[in-house]
Amino acid sequence: MSTHHSHADHHTHDPAAGTRWSDHAERVLRDAGLRTGGGRAAVIGVLAGEGCMLAAQDIVDRLRTQGGPGANLATVYRTLDTLRALDLVHRLDPGDGTARFERAQPDGEHHHHVLYADGAIEPFHDDELEQAIHTLAGRLGIELVGHDVVLHAVPKG
């Protein structure tokens, strides 16, 4: 919780992005002939409210804490599967054996993650890194459809 906002953390809390995504997601689901409402809407609500590194169990927990309509763990997994098939969420495996999920913005806006040794996670976005990766893709002669970057770090001593 630093008092200054660096370029690096402007993705951490962006309510507008959540709302935008949630609207988008519900539209895509309806267009696909699927139904919103019930557990699926609840999961979308959680993902919209907090877009970073949520485990399936985390989603169940937030719903329970919020007191509103909940969702069974199986439903959460099924919903995440559905959303992933529609490119509405990304799956990430930070290496602890538990998959994490976060919303995927329709405009391709995204972030990467710093994993600290103490377990803390910090999202970041960096245009120069994105640039470097796209240049690299050209150099490798591949057609890029996505990319993940994880930085492992220790608190600066």
Q: How far is the CB of 153 from DNA (least distance, A)?
A: 22
The entry of DNA, a copy of itself, none near residue 119 (CB within 5 to 8 angstroms by kind) is none
Crossing angle, helix 39-49 and helix 15-31, to 10 degrees? 150
Q: Which are the contacts of 77, defined by CB distance < 8 A and separation ≥ 6? A: 56
Task: State which of residues 10, 23, 27, 34 lies at the interface with DNA (CB under 7 A).
Answer: 34
CA atoms within 13 A on the CB side of 116: 10
The entry of DNA, a copy of itself, none near residue 109 (CB within 5 to 8 angstroms by kind) is none
CA atoms within 13 A on the CB side of 97: 0
The entry of a copy of itself, DNA, none near residue 139 (CB within 5 to 8 angstroms by kind) is a copy of itself
Q: Which stretch binds a copy of itself (CB under 8 A): 24-32, 53-61, 68-76, 86-94?
A: 86-94
The entry of a copy of itself, DNA, none near residue 68 (CB within 5 to 8 angstroms by kind) is none
Sketch the per residue contact string, 41 through 80, with a copy of itself: x for CB under 8 A, - otherwise: ----------------------------------------
147 binds a copy of itself per the rule CB under 8 A: yes
Residue 29: phi and psi, rounded to 5, are -65, -45
Crossing angle, helix 56-66 and helix 39-49, to 10 degrees? 100
**Contact in structure between 31 and 86 (CB atoms under 8 Å):** no
Could you tell me whether strands 89-92 and 100-103 are parallel, antiparallel, or unpaired per DSSP bridges?
A: antiparallel
Please give the size of the binding site for DNA, defined by CB under 7 A.
Answer: 25
The one-letter amino acid at 95 = G
Task: State which of residues 8, 17, 28, 55 lies at the interface with DNA (CB under 7 A).
Answer: 55
Which residues bind to DNA, rule: CB under 7 A? 33-41, 55-57, 70-75, 77-79, 81, 97-99
